[in-house]
Structure 1
Amino acid sequence: MKKLLFALCLLFAVSFAHAQTAEEVYSKYLDFNLARMQQETDKALDLGEDILPNADKLTAGARNNFYYSVGNLYENNSQSVKAIECYEKVVAAVPDYYVAQRGLGYLYAKQADALKATGGANYIAAVRKALPHLEKAQACDPDDDTLKMIQYFYKAINDKNGLTTLNDRLKSLKKNCIDLLDDK
């Protein structure tokens, strides 16, 4: 009986101890990218969610690329909270990657718009969360719609100084822009 109990405990421990190796994670990452390129969104999302707990086993470049890509899939699949989590990881690692900054800015702007009717401190906090991301995106890849949104938000929260100094900030932010992630 003791041997049977020991064998069952050992089998149980071994089955849970099996962690994915870096090679297995990278292989899934390649499958994830292939599914995305073939526009197999559901398959890519499933693979992405399988990779997420082990994404730290990818190289830094592949990890950043993965987080951006899965974040983009989440965003396009109306899963804003998950998209934000992924984009935040990219921005923390590569702050000058303005594509992720734009994604974050627009998602935070969406949250701010949802709070607009309530106004007050929560709305202002949400706007202030969106603005730095929108400004980085605008500095690196000027867009009339983004600029109008930035200006609208400054006016909505009555931040005249922010609006007045916007051009100087955009010039400063333009100095370091990354438009492609290296997955090496």
Structure 2
Amino acid sequence: MLRKFILSVILIITAYIANAQKRPIDPVYEKYLDFNLARLQGEVDKLMDLGEAILPDTAKLPAKARVNFYFSIGQVYEHNEQPQKALDFYERVAAAVPDYYVAHRGIGYIYLDRANEIQTKMNAATDLAVNKKLAEEYRKTVRMALPHLEKAQACDPSDETLDAIKTLYKNLKDQEGLNSLDERLKQLSAHCIDILEDK
């Protein structure tokens, strides 16, 4: 994983230098490069402001840079405990690059956290009607989490993710889903992207 991060850093810096030498930079793209530079330098206190300055003009970014930015701003929101905003951007990334499993991992874990919160409320509920409503909300949220967690597991296996997936199927009492998991993971692993290009 560290190797992939270092490669990403080198690619972004190379792109930054190459673009600086070629032509005048569009102001929005320049903000995007500043955002990436701050991210690479660990200037987390600046990221939210830099990212939100780009948001109104993301349509002006090249398509791949826009997708890359969406993922990065999603991470900023997630790390700032704003999972709904992060989810919105991760879903845009997953729609644009369906095989980019890192976005799927983010989506899956956000839904998993929601499901866990709902389950806690469900376990504490004493009113039967409230419990029934929460149980339905739990099932719906788990069904939202599972395909994303499975894509992440297929492309980058982890015991934690696999355990979460199996637990969710058991909680749903979905033995068929659990029994067919290995075959689905095998199929999903055929197409995996682990680095987004921005050019």
TM-score, with length taken from structure 2: 0.80
1:158 paired with 2:173, answer: yes
Structure 2 counterpart of 1:107, from 83, 95, 110:
110
Q: Give the counterpart letter for 1:107 in structure 2.
A: I
Post-superposition offset of 1:45: 1.0
The residue correspondences of 1:54-133 to structure 2 (distance < 5 A) are: 54-116=57-119, 117-118=121-122, 119-133=134-148
Secondary structure in 1 aligned to 2:196? coil
Residue identity over aligned pairs, in percent, reads 56
Question: Which structure has the bigger radius of gyration?
Answer: 1
Match for residue 11 of structure 1? none
Give the Cα–Cα distance (whole angstroms) in 2 for the partners of residues 50 and 111 of structure 1: 29
Q: Give the counterpart letter for 1:129 in structure 2.
A: M
Secondary structure in 2 aligned to 1:177? coil
Aligned residues: 163
Secondary structure in 2 aligned to 1:176? coil
Name structure 2 gaps, 5 residues minimum: 1-24, 123-133
Give the Cα–Cα distance (whole angstroms) in 1 for the partners of residues 59 and 196 of structure 2: 17
Q: Give the counterpart letter for 1:140 in structure 2.
A: C
Match for residue 139 of structure 1? 154
Post-superposition offset of 1:23: 1.1
Q: Deviations over 1:156-180 (max 9, x none)?
A: 1111111010001000100100000
1:51 paired with 2:54, answer: yes
Give the Cα–Cα distance (whole angstroms) in 1 for the partners of residues 59 and 116 of structure 2: 34
* Cα RMSD for the two superposed structures: 1.0
Q: Give the counterpart letter for 1:99 in structure 2.
A: V
Secondary structure in 2 aligned to 1:39? coil
Give the Cα–Cα distance (whole angstroms) in 1 for the partners of residues 45 and 187 of structure 2: 40
Secondary structure in 1 aligned to 2:176? helix
Question: Runs of at least 4 residues of structure 1 off by over 6 A?
Answer: none
